[in-house]
Structure 1
Amino acid sequence: MEATCSKKLWQIVSVLRCRNSSITHLHVYGTTAGPRDEVMQKVIEEVKENDEVMVLRVNCYVNHRSHKLFCQGLYNLLPHSKSGKKIENLESVFEECKAELQYVKSVVMVIVLNNSEMLLNFPPSFLQALFSIPKKVLHLFLDVVRGGTLLQCYNARKSKLKGAVKLVSVARLPWTRFEITEHISSPVQFAFEALSKGEVQEALSARLNFDNNFVRCMLDMVYSVCRDLNQLSYIIEKLWDTGTSDENWANSAASNKLKTCYTARGQNRTDELFYRSEKRPVEDGQTFCLSTSAKYLLIAAYCASYNPPNSDRRFFTKNHGKQRRRVPTTKGLRNNLESAHETGPKPFPVQRLLFIYLAMLEKHDMRNHCAADIHAQVAELCAMGFLNRVSADGNLDTPKYRCIATFEFSEQLARTMGIEIRDFLIDFSS
């Protein structure tokens, strides 16, 4: 594993340092339990040693809700940025980046997009522009370097072109998850798998310089709930500080009885870290790795599975008159009307799903912001385990699906979009 990581590290460094390379986008992905973050930190350190490379690190968590915030945040990272200057679009940002290369010795500007899953909240058109502009800059730069025409040289001088811009997106997800609706970019991907328990122990022992028996003992207690190297380092350091103040520390270390001595105390510490109250925290909606259109589509699919078709007019059309659900005369009929969530989700045709989906977009003024292909979105939701196809594979005209997402998940997802899903379900309507 160490040899593989070292090989990938130098591959990334060589691509970023090479100004004549046609590669403008790298995608590095893997869980926090793997060596992804550690390798990226070493990559940045190695790249910064070369004066010809400038590195800008963008945290997409901070400014993922607005295009203007993203552009302004990227501009503020430039060393010669002017305070108070407003940047509102990507073209202006990259013009400033090209101008910045004139003030410094750098020839290559590397923009590292940490937590790039948050880019899924932007429309595909913005992402296409974000990843295509560096290619245009590089192509013009290479034409000048390789002896372009006089017109190209003149345009390059006029635009003050001196170097290239490269993007590195760092995420947990592979790039296929970013291209749910449209083709955005074709990056060179580097995957970092999670470390095994033995590799985690070796990494912690090398990082902390503690007794191997102590590290193994603490890892046995918390490995099932935590595999992040940074969190494990913090836990073991705290437990080590607790152990050094114990009078029996030396005797326990000498007699190799660390587990007996520290299991109870370590368990109390880990309980405080990993066991939470039953009250659920309020989510902001960014933990769901879905695009905005996919979220609306999943909510529409849940309503289609748990509502009868004759109720669609009531919930999803305007001016539906004085249509009301008739008051049941018997208790048995009342139970039958309210048993949709007890009997399970019902299948629905894709045409009905499209109707509910478009009605919800129209109701929340999102019709112009969600122009994705519904069939691609349905296929992605099926792959993620939210929808299940119940019709035969040969039935291409009227395929039927069933929503298998739980009510708790759908309700929480709907609230992050500002939707109260109970208002669209017949079981909860009055």
Structure 2
Amino acid sequence: MRLTRAFKPSLKAAMETLHPRIMNAEHWCKINEPEEDVLEKLFQTTGPLSPTRRGYDEDSNLLPINKGKGKEGQAGIEALPRMSKFILLASYIASSNPAKTDLRMFGRGLDEKKRKRRVVRNKAPPKGSSGPVKIPQPLVGPSPFPLDRMLAILGALIENNDVESRLPAPEFTIPGEYTDMEISRVGTYASVNELTSLHLLHRTSAADRLDGPPMFKCAISHNIAQSLAKQLGIQLHEILWDPV
């Protein structure tokens, strides 16, 4: 019991950081390296570490856990290239928004209608109705999406939020032509494979599947998506159909 109480905080911190592959295992071990005499302190018969002694705190951290694990955990995400951040954010949106809402959230028509996300109103169900209750998407979890849909969302994000940072290209005169060239580069597909190897994206379709585009699922949390959107200057709540 004493060992369980002693190592419970470090096990919890390791699961929160290492399981989603937010931090390198070697880097995490260096940050959370325990003291040399931690076992001697743990098994001593007197002192505050004994559960039967007064002053023992069950939730105390006996091992030096990184207090800034949230910031340290996002260090790997912040080190990604700018295009990879856009791909990861587009994947999160594709996993969170229904496919039928893409045109409404990102499309540009001739009338230039303002994008409107879903407005949630608390309506009382009609009497006698016994239909299934619809669960909000944030509670359901990420949904699989085809690669071509994610690339379309990626193009919309780049076109709306990355025009000022791109290099001058006078040879592209048609609106959106430069963006189409960017998302069709080999490097974009290589970035998708790299994010999959980092377990930030999960491929849900078989690698040898020939009928249809490959399917993926985003594996980052809403907090990480918000951090990415803030770095890229994007208002995430404005492009989510059912925001948290």
Aligned-partner SS, 2:83: helix
Aligned AA (1:418):
G
Aligned-partner SS, 1:388: strand
Deviates more, 1:314-323 or 1:343-352: 314-323
Aligned AA (1:416):
Q
Give, in whole Å, the separation in 2 of the partners of 1:284 and 1:275.
Answer: 10
Aligned-partner SS, 2:44: helix
Deviations 1:96-122 (A, max 9, x none): xxxxxxxxxxxxxxxxxxxxxxxxxxx
Q: How does 1:332-371 map to 2 (within 5 A)?
A: 336=134, 339-365=136-162, 368=166, 371=182
1:393 aligns with 207
Distance 1:345-1:286 versus aligned 2 partners, 3 A rule = closer
Contact 1:285 1:416 survives alignment (8 Å): no
1:299 matched to 2:89: yes
2:107 aligns with 317
Of the three residues 8, 33, 38, the one matched with 1:218 is: 38
Aligned AA (1:306):
S
Give, in whole Å, the separation in 2 of the partners of 1:393 and 1:216.
Answer: 47
Of the three residues 234, 240, 243, the one matched with 1:419 is: 234
Aligned AA (1:385):
H
Aligned AA (2:38):
M
Q: How does 1:68-107 map to 2 (within 5 A)?
A: none
Q: How does 1:190-339 map to 2 (within 5 A)?
A: 216-218=36-38, 259-260=44-45, 264=49, 274=65, 276=67, 286-288=75-77, 289-319=79-109, 320-321=112-113, 324=116, 331=124, 336=134, 339=136
Distance 1:384-1:221 versus aligned 2 partners, 3 A rule = farther
Q: How does 1:25-36 map to 2 (within 5 A)?
A: none
Deviation at 1:328, TM superposition (A): 7.3
Deviation at 1:315, TM superposition (A): 2.1
1:380 matched to 2:178: no
Contact 1:284 1:416 survives alignment (8 Å): no
Residues matched between the structures, number: 183
1:428 matched to 2:243: yes
Deviations 1:126-177 (A, max 9, x none): xxxxxxxxxxxxxxxxxxxxxxxxxxxxxxxxxxxxxxxxxxxxxx97xxxx
Distance 1:345-1:273 versus aligned 2 partners, 3 A rule = closer
Unaligned runs of 5+ in 1: 1-171, 174-190, 202-214, 223-257
Give, in whole Å, the separation in 1 of the partners of 2:75 and 2:120.
Answer: 41
Distance 1:275-1:378 versus aligned 2 partners, 3 A rule = closer
Distance 1:411-1:322 versus aligned 2 partners, 3 A rule = closer
Give, in whole Å, the separation in 1 of the partners of 2:85 and 2:214.
Answer: 20
1:408 matched to 2:223: yes
Deviation at 1:301, TM superposition (A): 0.4
Give, in whole Å, the separation in 2 of the partners of 1:331 and 1:220.
Answer: 62
Distance 1:374-1:260 versus aligned 2 partners, 3 A rule = same
Q: Which has the larger radius of gyration?
A: 1
Deviates more, 1:376-385 or 1:412-421: 412-421
Calculate the TM-score normalised by the size of structure 2.
Answer: 0.56
Give, in whole Å, the separation in 1 of the partners of 2:226 and 2:104.
Answer: 20
Contact 2:144 2:204 survives alignment (8 Å): yes
Deviates more, 1:375-384 or 1:360-369: 360-369
Deviation at 1:276, TM superposition (A): 5.0
Aligned-partner SS, 1:401: strand
Calculate the TM-score normalised by the size of structure 1.
Answer: 0.34
Deviation at 1:219, TM superposition (A): 5.6
Give, in whole Å, the separation in 1 of the partners of 2:124 and 2:199.
Answer: 36
Deviation at 1:273, TM superposition (A): 5.8
Name the % identity: 25
Contact 1:302 1:405 survives alignment (8 Å): yes
Give, in whole Å, the separation in 1 of the partners of 2:71 and 2:80.
Answer: 18
CA-based RMSD: 4.6
Unaligned runs of 5+ in 2: 1-22, 51-55, 126-130, 168-178
Aligned-partner SS, 1:402: strand
Contact 1:295 1:413 survives alignment (8 Å): yes
Contact 1:301 1:403 survives alignment (8 Å): yes
Give, in whole Å, the separation in 2 of the partners of 1:283 and 1:316.
Answer: 33
Aligned AA (1:345):
P
Deviation at 1:348, TM superposition (A): 1.3
